[in-house]
A and B are shown apart, each in its own frame.
Chain A
């Protein structure tokens, strides 16, 4: 007689289950459309995983941050300081992060493939998979697709950045424009988010019904990907209209404002915490201006402490709130900087041996993975590329990157580099 109890393996997410079909359009979860079947989507959604992705554009120096080599030929002027984890030392420019090291893991053995910004930024954020003639999604778009918006129904991929905002569909690659990033320029909401005072809710609903009817007619004659994205962005805007509290600076605790810093990255990181608290699946915080070919050391003396203030504060807060249980925190650049110090007292691009920091979501706490040689010039242990990191991050998010594939209009595509693997020692 068959037991009515389900078997353990029935809860596992098989590759076949996950492949899904293009006809799965009825699925409600944003991001799981053509890829995953509803039951599996629900399994992933239940995990309610989130990501904070801090992107330091231009290339933070590993030697002035996570992998200091004081008193060596290329070590630079700064001291190393102890952290909350005995035996782990980082640059003196990171005193707040040092206090949070017991929540974090350092990877000091990154060796990636590109030393140019123009190709490197995208290559790193897309996970640098094997070339299959398609444009892969940025990590944020991938997570938006694979995890969806969760119960918050807020946009799944939010990008808090200096400068202008808007909907950045390029990030999504072959996933289609709706998996792009909703960017909040300077952390501010889109213009005219508030409903005009002359419009009642009822009038607004009626207008929306009219809009939807018009949209259906418009969509009937156009490519689905484009019209879906249009509708999606509009729906996101309507959702955000109900969450104006997320942008209300007057509700911020002044102590938090001070702790995070009133500078750009401090304000943006605090905004990111609010977004994560509200349930946004993937929040990217972007800082520009880290490409210090000249005056690197004064540049880092100015830049790193501001990053550190904001980063230390958010890690502390996520830990205090119990959110590190389900929020994966990553801070990185497109590469590190040369050990060699040039005549401009700068450091150039160096993908050969660099570092990133991560934590939360099952990442082992207070560890260092890999090391560079005495002078910091090359990796002296196993080298890890960005593909290894993608596998590891997906695993931390409950996504088995060896099993799940994208379905690009019938073309199965691995979600991370198929010759690379999870860095097991990073995960608990």
Chain B
């Protein structure tokens, strides 16, 4: 490990301070910009909320009205709004400025079916969504009016992000194609080839671009997924492709585990020049990984958390939320609890503090 990495390992070692349990499972968890609230989209179509302002995190009443799964969720930068998209194509906005969240608007058919991802632009005026209907859409956040539609992907679009500084959107599909669009006229600017993240295996399209992330200034684009080995019980090497956004050049390919660890589900490009990412595996259990792109090895990794699906950093407080899965979540056939019930799985949400941020702000 380099001196720089050793330094990062010391400063950014996450210290777990609480575990919230979401039952049934949830996907992504997001901190409110104030750091006082955590929201997570569930397998049960609810948005789960936890009050983090008290010493002991306390669960608040969930937001209802969605269907299927809520995989896409985000707060506006000012914290006034919470947006959620579900697997039946519904998109909703809640006012979070008062005591009780209030539904501001919702669109039942924002997408035809699974709304996979959403992002809010830097000034909070626009939303971008994408889905299984192969379409990427931009909406105004005020009232959910549609502004722009991109129809250029031939397959399921898994992820979409606004560029943090420029009027561009990037969207990634299940064939490993990333398209850069103009957010003003829907013109395709260029494409990034991430097809190494895709495999046609037997009848199945395997892998694809599972997540996208920019760094704070938008100079780097990270494209996450797996380099697939096979379909069915998908195995592959969890990988991140790093592109220089200015030149479009692929600068690094980060392999974050072996073929048992499979998918990179979410990436943070930290301003100190390293990647924070979570993976889940088959049959492995996934990892949390912090790594500088130029290094051979991560400066932090843990597999103590089982099958992680999201990671979110609240930078002002140095708090980190990682959504994982309970241990022993898989198994064939009838497995009943001691009371004879057929129980589902749950999602422990691990809350960490990162020492560096705390020291720097103390």
Contact = CB atoms under 8 A, between A and B. Distances in A.
Given A77-B114, A263-B203, A291 B233 contact: yes
Nearest to B265: A345
A237 B128 CA distance: 60
Interface in B259-318: 262-263, 280-283, 285-286, 306-307, 309
A187 interface: no
B204 A92 contact: no
Interface string A56-82: 001000000000001101111111000
A344 interface: yes
- Chain B: number of interface residues, binned into ranges: 35 or more
Given A291-B232, A301-B132, A344-B262, A75 B68 contact: yes
Interface string B82-102: 000001100000000000000
A316 B334 CA distance: 37
Nearest to B285: A343
B331 A348 contact: yes
Interface string A276-312: 0000000000011111111100110111001100000
Contact of B329 (A162, A295, A303, A343): A343
A349 B344 contact: no
Contact of A77 (B69, B262, B285, B309): B69
B234 A299 contact: yes
B17 interface: no
A115 interface: yes
Interface in A10-69: 58
B45 interface: yes
Given A71-B45, A79-B88, A340-B345, A294 B332 contact: no
Given A79-B113, A346-B330, A290 B232 contact: yes
A360 interface: no
A348 B342 CA distance: 14
Contact of B232 (A289, A342, A348, A352): A289
Interface centre among A79, A295, A346, A348 (most CB of B within 10 A): A295
Given A162-B202, A302-B203, A302-B205, A116 B231 contact: no
Given A291-B232, A293-B282, A302-B203, A342 B330 contact: yes
Interface in B166-189: 174
Contacts of B206: 295, 299, 302
Nearest to B306: A343
Interface in A109-168: 115-116, 162
A408 B174 CA distance: 53
A290 B204 CA distance: 9
Interface in B311-342: 324-326, 329-335, 342
Given A301-B132, A344-B282, A348-B330, A264 B344 contact: no
Looking at chain B's contact residues, the main secondary structure is loop
Nearest to A263: B203
Nearest to A307: B203
A70 B345 contact: no
Contacts of A301: 114, 132, 156
Interface centre among A339, A343, A352 (most CB of B within 10 A): A343
B203 A377 contact: no
B232 A292 contact: yes
Contacts of B201: 289
Given A79-B113, A287-B203, A345 B332 contact: no
- Chain A: number of interface residues, binned into ranges: 35 or more
B285 A377 contact: no
Interface centre among A287, A339, A345 (most CB of B within 10 A): A345
A110 to B, nearest CB: 14
B342 A340 contact: yes
Interface in A340-366: 340-346, 348-352
A338 B263 CA distance: 21
Contact of B330 (A75, A264, A344): A344
B138 to A, nearest CB: 23
Contacts of B286: 343
A79 B208 CA distance: 23
A294 B306 contact: no
B21 to A, nearest CB: 14
A260 interface: no
Contacts of B71: 77
A58 B331 contact: no
A289 B345 contact: no
A115 B69 contact: no
Interface in A350-394: 350-352, 375, 377-378
Contacts of A303: 203-204
Contacts of A73: 24, 43-44, 344
Given A70-B67, A74-B344, A77-B68, A346 B325 contact: no
A191 to B, nearest CB: 23
B280 A351 contact: no
Interface of A: 58, 70-71, 73-79, 92, 115-116, 162, 263-265, 287-295, 298-299, 301-303, 306-307, 338-346, 348-352, 375, 377-378
7 contacts: A79-B68, A116-B332, A289-B231, A294-B235, A298-B174, A339-B342, A343-B307
Given A299-B232, A301-B132, 20 more contacts: A71-B68, A73-B44, A76-B69, A77-B68, A77-B87, A78-B114, A79-B88, A116-B332, A162-B202, A288-B202, A289-B201, A292-B232, A293-B282, A299-B234, A303-B203, A303-B204, A343-B330, A344-B281, A345-B280, A348-B331
